[in-house]
A and B are shown apart, each in its own frame.
Chain A
Amino acid sequence: MIELVRSQYLIEAIYLVASALFILSLKWMSSPATARHGILAGEIGMVLAIAGTLLHHGIVDWKWIIIALVLGSGIGIPLGMVQMTAVPQRTALSHAFGALCVTLVGTAEFYLQTPHVPRFTMSVLSMEVILGGLTFTGSLMAAGKLQEILPQRPITYKGQNLVNLLLFVVAVGAAVYLVLHPEAKQFFPLIVGVSLIFGVLLVIPIGGADMPTVISLLNSYAGLSAAAMGFVLHNKLLIIAGALDGSSGLILSIIMSKAMNRSFTNVLFGAFGQVQASAAGGQEAKPVRSATAEEAAAILAAANKVVVVPGYGMAVAQAQHKVRELYDALTKKGVEVRFAIHPVAGRMPGHMNVLLAEADIPYDRLIEMDEINGDFPQTDVALVIGANDVTNPAARSDQSSPIFGMPILDVDKAHTVMVIKRSMNPGFAGIDNPLYYVDNTLMLFGDAKQFVGGIVRELGGGH
């Protein structure tokens, strides 16, 4: 008996240390200089916590634990080795895995404790499986869209919000009934099933451009479901890790929704991607000025200050390494090159930074929107590569524009704007961009990777 208590105290002490390490781990993420200490702290915390858990007095069988740990590590290694361009879908997939774990443990706990589930346990357990279930399928949908297994366009139908609301009410209603009548265990599969369906329906109407917000939100839900699991199991380490993850996801979703000028309630209730529908149509063929790689190279070489604005198109074309060559070629000529990063550029928070860092561009050249916007009037050339809506001046001036009010990069204030784009097709969001028709804008038509490569060749051959 004394042994038993002692092991319990030891486990709690180990969890306490692990919690501190987790908090330090996030704290050290605040700057690239200390971030790798953060990983180390997190890893030590994790190893301690898992090792400590194995001391748990109730554990009688080790075989399956070991098999599962080995199997999971075997799956984790290739998932950690994916290409940087595949990071958004990998992240979505790992939200799904985390949520799957939580949902399964919650389900098992319910069937172990039923029909004598205390009311409080039942309420948090319902929260755990509802959040876990919807995060699991929702994240799978998001990963599918990002991997382009599923269509990236929003899939919408009439009465969508009503159906979603109804499903949510059914899940919560069944949960409340189960809290009041713990013996009605036939309601439990209903809660799980409805949550799984709800997750699918919540994410299918969401378009690619809204993915940064959605991934952040799913991140937050995954954390909250893990915290709920901590309440069920009376495990403070889980509550802390879940709360940290939940608040991290929430902060990121708030930043993302602000950067898209969506109110936070708008995001919470899943009203993503609805602006897009109204946007298309009403286009006239307006004249644009275009230029060749040769002309573009000459203008860039003559500039003092160049700001590159990367977007999802750069990621799709895998152009980041060519962009790096351009950066080198211009820097060598004494041109100051910086990169303007919009918070929602790409498909997840920080997406562009990771791609450019992968291409070996120093991170002190990557400038946030608020910091760089004041510099555009003194910029000779703004080179937009695969970004569209985040540069659309209609967001500032045109009240009828669906993106009116969204903070943008003021590239139109630069002396010359060059936009690399496949064609004049308004693209995914279907919103026309008046930037393309102003006098100081040159359109560079072509594939981002090839076009940047062409400019680099011209710059190299110029000497």
Chain B
Amino acid sequence: MGSTLIDSLFVFMLAAFIGFEVIRHVSPLLHTPLMSLTNALDAIAVVGAIVLVGERKSEFATILGVIAIVAATSNVVGGFFITDRMLRMFRTSRPVKK
């Protein structure tokens, strides 16, 4: 228990630093697609809901889990879809470098 907690905290700390470093370099041009992309990635919470529903431990948990899967999946599908639509619109007036 104790060691998993520390492990998890290490993972969180490192991921937060990576997040800061990576996202600081995102061009302000792309802040809207960035937000819809992180939103889609965040919907990885769906894996928790899938296990919850699949294990069928209680009726109550299954019902909540099903709603959770629906909500998260709509974020995954909608989020990637709209991010891609947005990014396809960005074009430059300069010739593309080979």
Contact = CB atoms under 8 A, between A and B. Distances in A.
Partners in one complex: yes
Interface of A: 18-19, 22-23, 25-27, 29-32, 35-36, 38-39, 42-43, 45-46, 49-50, 53-54, 56, 58-62, 64-65, 67-69, 71-73, 75-82, 84, 87, 90-91, 94-95, 97-98, 100-102, 104-105, 107-109, 111-112, 118, 120, 215-216, 219, 222-223, 226-227, 229-231, 233-249, 251-252, 255, 341, 343, 348-351, 353-354, 357-358, 360, 362-366, 368
A22 B41 contact: yes
B61 A112 contact: yes
Given A42-B41, A59-B51, A79 B78 contact: yes
Contacts of B18: 23, 244
Contact of B51 (A53, A230, A245, A358): A53
A95 B39 contact: yes
B87 A108 contact: no
Given A87-B82, A239-B12, A101 B71 contact: yes
B44 A105 contact: no
Nearest to B24: A251
The 6 closest A-B CB pairs, nearest first, are: A72-B73, A80-B81, A76-B77, A59-B54, A350-B31, A247-B19
Nearest to B97: A33
Nearest to A80: B81
B65 A351 contact: no
Contacts of B57: 112
Contact of A30 (B5, B25, B67): B25
Nearest to B86: A354
Contacts of B39: 91, 94-95, 98, 219, 222, 245
Contact of B64 (A80, A107, A251): A107
Nearest to A252: B31
Given A98-B45, A248-B19, A350 B79 contact: no
18 contacts: A22-B44, A30-B22, A31-B27, A36-B84, A46-B40, A53-B51, A67-B66, A75-B78, A87-B32, A98-B45, A118-B1, A216-B35, A238-B45, A239-B11, A243-B11, A247-B16, A350-B28, A357-B86
B72 to A, nearest CB: 4
A247 to B, nearest CB: 3
A69 B69 contact: yes
A246 B23 CA distance: 11
Interface hub of A22, A72, A242 (most chain B Cβ within 10 A): A72
Q: Chain B binding site: helix, strand, loop or mixed by DSSP? A: helix
Given A68-B69, A365-B93, A35 B87 contact: yes
A103 B90 CA distance: 36
B16 A32 contact: no
B58 A226 contact: no
A49 B6 CA distance: 24
Contact of B52 (A39, A105, A227, A243): A105
A350 B80 CA distance: 17
Interface hub of B58, B86, B94 (most chain A Cβ within 10 A): B86
Given A29-B37, A235-B47, 12 more contacts: A22-B44, A36-B87, A39-B80, A64-B65, A68-B69, A69-B69, A71-B70, A76-B78, A84-B86, A105-B52, A245-B19, A368-B28
Interface residues of B, number: 83
Given A25-B41, A46-B41, A105-B48, A76 B73 contact: yes
Contacts of B62: 64
A252 B71 CA distance: 24
B57 to A, nearest CB: 5
Contacts of B66: 64, 67-68
A42 B36 CA distance: 12
A80 B83 CA distance: 8
A60 B83 CA distance: 35
Interface hub of A26, A105, A230, A246 (most chain B Cβ within 10 A): A105
B38 A243 contact: no
A90 B42 contact: no
A364 B46 contact: no
B28 A244 contact: no
Given A26-B26, A58-B55, A349-B32, A229 B48 contact: yes
A371 to B, nearest CB: 10
A222 B75 CA distance: 12
Contacts of A353: 28-32, 90
Contacts of B22: 23, 26-27, 30, 244
Interface hub of B25, B46, B47 (most chain A Cβ within 10 A): B47
B29 A366 contact: yes
B64 A357 contact: no
A105 B80 contact: no
A233 B45 CA distance: 10
Contacts of B71: 72, 97-98, 100-101, 104
B58 A36 contact: no
